[in-house]
Amino acid sequence: MRTSPDCLPCFLRQIAHAARLATADPDRQKLILERAAALLPAFDLSRSPPENSVALYRLVAELADCPDPFANLKQSSNAAMHALRPRLLQSIRAAADPLLAAMKFAAAGNIIDYGSQQDFDLEQTLAACLARDFAIDDATKLSAAIDRLGPADTVLYLGDNCGELVMDGILIEMLAGRGLRVVLALKEYPIINDATVVDAQKLGLDRFCAVISNGTGCPGTPLASCSTLFQREFRRASLIISKGQGNFETLSEAAGPLFFLLAVKCSVVGQHLTGYAERQQPLPACGEMALVRGRFFP
Amino acid sequence: MRTSPDCLPCFLRQIAHAARLATADPDRQKLILERAAALLPAFDLSRSPPENSVALYRLVAELADCPDPFANLKQSSNAAMHALRPRLLQSIRAAADPLLAAMKFAAAGNIIDYGSQQDFDLEQTLAACLARDFAIDDATKLSAAIDRLGPADTVLYLGDNCGELVMDGILIEMLAGRGLRVVLALKEYPIINDATVVDAQKLGLDRFCAVISNGTGCPGTPLASCSTLFQREFRRASLIISKGQGNFETLSEAAGPLFFLLAVKCSVVGQHLTGYAERQQPLPACGEMALVRGRFFP
């Protein structure tokens, strides 16, 4: 999807947040914001928002001399979610449809991404998410697609943020338990709170799947810029589960056996998703969960 | 108060809104946002946010060839609030302390400013506001200051937005009913949804007070740029009631017999207000009402 003019103010708001994490010096924060604002007019709005955002986060890293401003947040969200893992597993096993429950927790984890900025009752939010329906619900289609897979098939799982990576891991473990080959792709370089290969290794996810990077430091999956290795896995995958907004924004027009599993976090994506899924009802409000089969699913 | 770096993204968000009102052409909206972003680095953060915002709104007016993008919104908010006036008067007359009730409605009207962007149950909001306390409450001090005034005294009332101007009018009518000379100052040129002299005249407010402009098209009261006439009224006033965030942002450090009556609409102002009022409790959340005696009240 393209960058909307409405993304420009939002970029700057996010950069203000990143700048505060990256440096405590108000003058430096101000400089970052000013320089970020000066970059906006040059943005190519035909590119996706995550692709355009890369230059802004690079600016924060350089001007604050801080290559990974979100490092602490990422670590604490991984730890908090990992501590909840036994109880998540318990809920999933007790559910009428454990695979659906795991999908919902994975989407719920994407909502909890918000938590990094606010006080948040993790358990309560997760319980509420499990009780909620997907605003766009292709869960039956995804379950059927999984059921059709055999041992020769590969599932490519595109991860998003730290924290929710724990829930991604549970879903991946269930897929691996069916004898499928699963490849988890994360980011090559730190960007916002996106998970990298090291995060997955620390959480032990490499016990159930191959963990690779997509070769970029973009908060999404800009196919043309991704590594050859990643592109090969993308082409050979029988099923691709794409987590989060950034991956949807960069892959909504990509050909492939894609399902998008995400929490809608802004009205621009909500609107695009409504049209994308040819949905008549009003677009999902921010915080709603969506599971959408890709328009170019073969 | 100074402009915070956090104001920069917010400026751009507000300009996106103004651009949508000013022109339906997406290319023009995009151009406006890009040009607005390019202006941000040159802003002098030692000036107040309303002063810095003027150049941005001028840009919208020029690039969209639309001198008053908020004209329709202003008219409809004036009409909606005017229709409620009889019921507001009834509530005020029935209140234990009618003057306090009028102050609360005036602050509540400042909250309802939000209404221009969303669905809003006017009556319910007003009823809820009347039942709520001021987050910072100098109402007793303001009532006492009013009680001390005599016929030789002038009250200068600094208006803010259309819509709430109806509530301002009720409070002004009560002050005039005490035999006080009241001067209502509004904006010389259209800026955002701020009221101008014509708005006050159309609502018949000139029956109870002199209506003047402050000589600017700034969404606040930047004293040094105001007209000589306005500055004279500012100096001679025995009491100044300043409505809304914009007037607080521009006048928080001004010497004068000031009371600030406002709804807090952003965390930057909330934070400044907390320090300003030497308040120990956490800053008022967005949407909370404050009535604060000026720090330099003689």
Residue A120 lies in a domain: yes
Alpha helices in chain A (DSSP H): 7-22, 26-39, 49-63, 71-94, 98-112, 122-131, 139-147, 165-177, 197-202, 228-236, 244-251, 267-276
Q: What is the bridge-based pairing of β-strands A258-263 and A289-293? A: antiparallel
Strands A210-213 and A136-137 come out as unpaired
Instruction: Tell whether A153 is covered by a domain.
Output: yes
What is the Cα–Cα distance from B159 to B267, expressed in whole angstroms?
22
CB A80 within 8 A of CB A122: yes
Q: Nearest residue of B to residue A41 by CA position?
A: B34
Q: Which of B218, B212, B138, B225 is nearest to B182 (CA)?
A: B212
The answer to whether residues A192 and A238 belong to one domain is yes
Q: Which of B3, B4, B6, B15 to mutate to test the interface with A (most CBs of A within 10 A)?
A: B6
Q: With contacts defined as CB-CB under 8 Å, which chain B residues touch A26? A: 5
Q: Show the tokens assigned to A23.
A: 């440096």
The pLDDT value recorded for residue B120 is 59
Check if B6 contacts A (Cβ < 8 Å).
Answer: yes
Domain stop point among B40, B63, B86:
B63
In a domain, A207, yes or no: yes
Number of domains into which chain B is organized:
2
pLDDT band at residue B118 under the 50/70/90 scheme: very low
- Are residues B100 and B52 part of one domain? no
Kindly state whether residues B115 and B216 are assigned to the same domain: yes
Residue carrying the six token digits 């501590």: A83
Q: Do B37 and A38 touch (CB under 8 A)?
A: yes
Window from A212-226, A274-288, B145-159, B170-184 with minimum mean pLDDT: A274-288
Residues B176, B282 share a domain: yes
Torsion of CA B254, B259, B263, B266, to 10 degrees: 20
Please, which pLDDT band fits residue A130 given cuts at 50, 70 and 90? confident
B237 in a structural domain: yes
Examine the domain organization and report whether A174 and A140 are in the same domain: yes
B55 reaches A (C-beta below 8 A): no
Residues of B in contact with A13 (CB under 8 A): 9-10, 13
Which residues constitute the domain of residue A36?
Answer: 7-63
Same domain membership, residue B89 and residue B36: no
Of B42, B41, B33, the closest CA to residue B15 belongs to B33
> Mean pLDDT over residues B145-163, rounded?
96
Note the pLDDT tens digit of each residue in A19-77: 999 999 999 999 999 999 999 999 999 999 999 999 999 999 999 999 999 999 999 99
The model's pLDDT over A226-273, given as tens digits with 9 standing for 90+, comes to: 999 999 999 999 999 999 999 999 999 999 999 999 999 888 999 999
pLDDT band per the 50, 70, 90 thresholds, residue A120: low
- Do B156 and B207 share a domain, yes or no? yes
Answer yes or no: is pLDDT of B241 > 70.
yes
CA geometry: angle B241, B242, B243, nearest 5 deg: 115
Cα separation, B264 vs B135, whole angstroms: 9
Q: Are residues B124 and B49 in the same domain?
A: no
Q: With an 8 Å Cβ cutoff, is A253 touching chain B?
A: no
Helices and strands (H and E) in chain A: how many: 12, 7
Residue B298: inside a domain = no
CB-closest option in B8, B16, B37 to A41: B37
Same domain? B47 vs B159? no
Give yes or no for A15 touching B (CB within 8 A).
yes
> Same domain, yes or no, for A46 and A158?
no
Mean pLDDT of B243-268: 95
| Better-scored residue on pLDDT, B130 or B142 | B142
Q: Is A204 on the interface with B (CB under 8 A)?
A: no
Cβ-defined contact of A6 to B16 (cutoff 8 Å): yes
Instruction: Tell whether the model's pLDDT for residue A97 goes beyond 60.
Output: yes
Q: Quote the pLDDT of residue B279.
A: 83
From B63, B84, B107, give the residue that closes a domain.
Answer: B63
Q: Which DSSP helix (H) or strand (E) runs through A289?
A: strand A289-293
- Tell me which of B63, B80, B104 is where a domain ends: B63
Q: How many Å lie between the alpha carbon of B19 and the closest alpha carbon of chain A?
A: 10
Q: Answer yes or no: do B39 and B86 share one domain.
A: no
Residue B191 sits in a domain whose CATH number is 3.40.50.10880
Taking CA–CA distances from B25, the nearest residue in chain A reads: A5
- Residue B115: pLDDT over 50: no
| Cα(B178)–Cα(B102) distance, integer angstroms | 14
Higher-pLDDT residue of B197 and A124 is B197
Task: Give the distance from residue B66's alpha carbon to the nearest chain A alpha carbon, in angstroms.
Answer: 19
Q: Indicate the average pLDDT of chain B.
A: 93
Are A213 and A196 in contact by the 8 Å Cβ rule? The answer is yes
Instruction: Tell me, yes or no, whether A73 lies in a domain.
Output: no
Question: CB–CB of B144/B207 below 8 Å?
Answer: no
Domain assignment present for B34: yes
Collapsed DSSP state (helix, strand, coil) of residue A287: coil
One domain for residues A37 and A157: no
Residue B14 belongs to some domain of the structure: yes
Size of interface A-B (CB pairs under 8 A): 65
